[in-house]
Amino acid sequence: MATMMLTLSNGTKAAMVADNGPSLIGKNEIKIEGQRMTPEALWAMGRIGDFDVSPDGKKIVYTVAYYSVPQNKSNREVFVMNADGTDNKQITHTSFQENNVKWIKGGSKLAFLSNDDGSSQLYEMNIDGSNRTKLSAYDGDLEGFKFSPDEKKILFIAQVKTVKSTADKYPDLPKASGIIVKDLMYKHWDEWVTTAPHPFIADFDGNSLTNISDIMQGEPYESPMKPFGGIEQLAWNTSSDKVAYTSRKLTGKAYALSTNSDIYEYDLKTKTTRNLTQGMMGYDTNPQYSPDGKSIAWQSMERDGYEADQNRLFVMDLKTGSKRFVSKAFESNVDAFQWNKDSKSIYFTGVWHAEEHIYNVNLKTEKVKQITTGQYDYDGVSLFGKQLISKRHSMSSGDEIYAINPANGVTKQLTFENKHIYDQVEMGRVEERWIKTTDGKDMLTWVIYPPKFDPNKKYPTLLYCEGGPQSPVSQFWSYRWNFQMMAANDYIIVAPNRRGLPGFGNAWNEEISGDYGGQCMKDYLSAIDEVSKEPFVDRDHLGCVGASFGGFSVYWLAGHHNKRFKAFIAHDGIFNLEMQYLETEEMWFANWDMGGAYWEKENATAQKTFATSPHKFIDKWDTPILCIHSEKDYRILASQAMAAFDGALLRGVPAELLIYPDENHWVLKPQNGILWQRTFFEWLDRWLKK
């Protein structure tokens, strides 16, 4: 057992006690002095992953990821508990990543993916973790799986090669690293695109996988879709003879310009495929067959090229082919859903007024009923006997698993993974405010106060600018952009749900497209100006921070803030919109949000957008700025931050650049995460606490 004394970013002392070996990572026991959230406390937290309910509804299996800062790595362990949360036991103790854990064989076994032998393969074990047995020996990684209802077949995801390498073309140059590019979408998110995920079917005799076949028969398309699609984009029908899958059957330039994905149904008997959503031109994703086998539901966006269109819940009668938009009464996105066991209603999660809750839609009347309430976000929903089960988090707590009574919304917490940390930390108060915008609308703004807040003191205050651009400032919990961490460093945080966010109706959500430098920027200033009227806000020490579109917002406000702010931090932001238009990989996003290409001189929307590019106002920059970016970010290239940093220094503006060669649009490695937090607060403290 080893104890490390840590000096934290706010001066707090903490002792982290580790009783695991050099490769095995388990729960971190951390002792915190000062009752303040710290980077080290965040990284000591276990992060709850996927879960599954046993067939008899009496037990729950779930996973937890643990991180080691000294080892700069993580592993994921498996836990089993009773349905009421009692008898919670960790059943694996390995250095591997156990994922996608499911009950099989009537609840007597658990199936899961693990990288024991270097590649991700399918395993099973007893429900106490014993008799760990490998079921697959596939030449490559299995990235997700689903057993058929009769458990005689397995559907799994694996990569297939779609692009020839340099060595394929020139076998005598096996060590050449150059990549020859002939079409668009040669890079995506954080990878050079050479493969595509495909759904595979295999027979399962109870011990191993045989007769493996590619459902898409070598097509060059993706299913599930990159960069974030997983096993939720594939589904078995109730009779185990058909599979529905999500695919955008496009490549190259056509793929880069379109969001038109469809739901396809593959018949295992005839080996034929039909398109269930032909003519529906936006994203169609995440199919689920009804328990009675008569219908299929999925999430659907209406317009091609608009990735932030309203995500609607659709249901199709498999006999007649008729389709219905059943969630019309909910003017926001359906983020996840689950059929009720009687096939007469569907539970779903969606955000409204900056909180993500569970709802139920009656398929006959199409009436929507809200199930849960409170200052929380619920992450997904599943059936749990006569109850529901979901993960829940807020700005003051990370994910834990809850049971929900669908009749009255009463919840019961089942896991307490990080109670030992929360018990040592005092959280700041989170307040909901409605603020008038410049055009007379009401805007929900979260205000987060420091622990032990004293209204007689004056506090430096941060304006938080959200990314997306169309992702809600809901009750989210982040291990990087953590509001309680900012509050623990004695900052007040102002987090507005500005124009261009879901949860306030479609008109509010869509107003940002083609208007990056317009009303959404006025909304930011309305929020900070209104809260700054409070006597406890130090108006002479205001900061502005944000990532992605929030980073763009910081760069834009740096040239338009009229000396409101004394410090800026932009992470992964767009500095030059013309550069971004040709550097990003998903061209549908650039075309929709920017209105078109910057060379389209007669396109008024595009010209309006590019005229607001932050780089055109750098002559107005007069405030210290920290630029953060990562070189594996292919959504917004690191050259954006480098250009902003260089420009600031050439202008004589104090600036700093934090660059990560090995991270993407996020910062995922433990030591990089702590470096991010320390750099973040060192910069703010330097300029806002003089």
Q: What is the pLDDT of residues 432-444, one digit of tens each?
A: 999 999 999 999 9
Structure tokens at 620: 């107005």
Reading phi first (left if > 0) and then psi (alpha if -120 to 50, else beta), residue 268 is in: alpha
What is the distance, to the nearest Å, from the Cα of residue 602 to the centroid of all Cα atoms in its chain? 37
pLDDT, the chain, mean: 95
- The average pLDDT across 177-194 equals 95
Q: What is the pLDDT of residues 200-235, one digit of tens each?
A: 999 999 999 999 999 999 899 999 999 999 999 999
Would you state the pLDDT for residue 28? 83
Cβ atoms of 53 and 80 within 8 Å: the answer is no
Could you give the CA distance from residue 566 to residue 570 in angstroms, rounded to a whole number? 14
Could you give the CA distance from residue 185 to residue 224 in angstroms, rounded to a whole number? 16
Q: What is the pLDDT of residues 564-603, one digit of tens each?
A: 999 999 999 999 999 999 999 999 999 999 999 999 999 9
Would you state the pLDDT for residue 25? 82
Contacts of 254 (CB under 8 A, 6+ apart): none
Work out the pLDDT band at 2, boundaries 50, 70, 90.
Answer: very low
**Residue 69: closest CA among 16, 120, 31:** 16
Work out the pLDDT band at 6, boundaries 50, 70, 90.
Answer: very low
Would you state the pLDDT for residue 21? 44
First to last CA, the chain: 41
Contacts of 687 (CB under 8 A, 6+ apart): 541, 543, 566, 567, 624
Q: If you write DSSP's letter for every residue of 267-313 in order, what string do you get?
A: ETTTTEEEETTTT--S-EEEEEE-TTSSEEEEEE-SSTT-TTS--EE
Cβ atoms of 660 and 671 within 8 Å: the answer is no
Reading phi first (left if > 0) and then psi (alpha if -120 to 50, else beta), residue 87 is in: left
Could you give the CA distance from residue 295 to residue 555 in angstroms, rounded to a whole number? 48
The angle, 0 to 180 degrees and rounded to 10, between the axes of the packed helices 519-531 and 549-558 is: 80
Cβ atoms of 133 and 116 within 8 Å: the answer is no
Helix (H) / strand (E) containing 244: strand 242-247
Could you give the CA distance from residue 307 to residue 588 in angstroms, rounded to a whole number? 8
Q: Is the pTM of this model over 0.85?
A: yes
Q: What is the pLDDT of residues 462-481, one digit of tens each?
A: 999 999 999 999 999 999 99
What is the distance, to the nearest Å, from the Cα of residue 101 to the centroid of all Cα atoms in its chain? 20
- Judged against a pLDDT cut of 70, whether residue 371 lies above it is answered with yes
Q: If you write DSSP's letter for every residue of 140-207 in order, what string do you get?
A: S----EEE-TTSSEEEEEEEEE-S--HHHH-TT-TT-------SS-SEETTEE--EEEEEEEEEE-SS
Reading phi first (left if > 0) and then psi (alpha if -120 to 50, else beta), residue 550 is in: alpha
How many H helices and E strands in the chain? 13, 41
Residue spans of the domains in the chain: they are 426-688
Tell me how far CA of residue 9 lies from CA of 2, 453, 489, 689, in angstroms: 22, 19, 8, 14
Structure tokens at 546: 């944000």
Work out the pLDDT band at 23, boundaries 50, 70, 90.
Answer: low
- Judged against a pLDDT cut of 60, whether residue 19 lies above it is answered with no
3-state DSSP of 45-101: CCEEEEEEECCCCCEEEEEEEEEECCCCEEEEEEEEEECCCCCCEECCCCCCECEEE
Q: What is the dihedral of CA 216, 217, 219, 224, to 10 degrees?
A: 30
Could you give the CA distance from residue 217 to residue 235 in angstroms, rounded to a whole number? 18
Would you state the pLDDT for residue 4? 39
**Residue 531: closest CA among 590, 581, 481, 464:** 464
Work out the pLDDT band at 347, boundaries 50, 70, 90.
Answer: very high
CB-neighbour burial class of residue 560 (10 A; exposed 0-12, middle 13-18, buried 19+): middle
Q: What is the pLDDT of residues 236-272, one digit of tens each?
A: 999 999 999 999 999 999 999 999 999 999 999 999 9
Which one is catalytic: 474, 548, 553, 630? 548
Tokens 């055109």 label which residue?
616
Could you give the CA distance from residue 319 to residue 332 in angstroms, rounded to a whole number? 29
Reading phi first (left if > 0) and then psi (alpha if -120 to 50, else beta), residue 280 is in: beta
633 in catalytic set: yes
Q: What is the DSSP letter of 106?
A: G
Cβ atoms of 449 and 513 within 8 Å: the answer is no
3-class DSSP assignment, residue 686: helix
What is the distance, to the nearest Å, from the Cα of residue 198 to the centroid of all Cα atoms in its chain? 22
- Judged against a pLDDT cut of 70, whether residue 16 lies above it is answered with no
Q: What is the pLDDT of residues 264-307, one digit of tens each?
A: 999 999 999 999 999 999 999 999 999 999 999 999 999 999 99
What is the distance, to the nearest Å, from the Cα of residue 559 to the centroid of all Cα atoms in its chain? 30
**Residue 20: closest CA among 80, 95, 76:** 95
Could you give the CA distance from residue 14 to residue 404 in angstroms, rounded to a whole number? 36
The amino acid present at 98, given as its one-letter code, is: E
- The average pLDDT across 321-336 equals 98
CB-neighbour burial class of residue 390 (10 A; exposed 0-12, middle 13-18, buried 19+): buried
- The average pLDDT across 337-353 equals 98
Tokens 């199919």 label which residue?
287
Structure tokens at 552: 């763009």
Cβ atoms of 112 and 156 within 8 Å: the answer is no
- The average pLDDT across 135-142 equals 96
Q: What is the pLDDT of residues 415-430, one digit of tens each?
A: 999 999 999 999 999 9
Cβ atoms of 199 and 155 within 8 Å: the answer is yes
665 in catalytic set: yes
Could you give the CA distance from residue 261 to residue 277 in angstroms, rounded to a whole number? 9
The amino acid present at 174, given as its one-letter code, is: P
- The average pLDDT across 507-536 equals 97
- Judged against a pLDDT cut of 90, whether residue 459 lies above it is answered with yes
Contacts of 314 (CB under 8 A, 6+ apart): 284, 297, 298, 299, 300, 323, 324, 325, 326
| CATH fold of 426-688 | Rossmann fold (3.40.50)
3-state DSSP of 329-390: CCCCCCCEEEECCCCCEEEEEEEECCEEEEEEEECCCCCEEECCCCCCEEEEEEEECCEEEE
Would you state the pLDDT for residue 13? 43
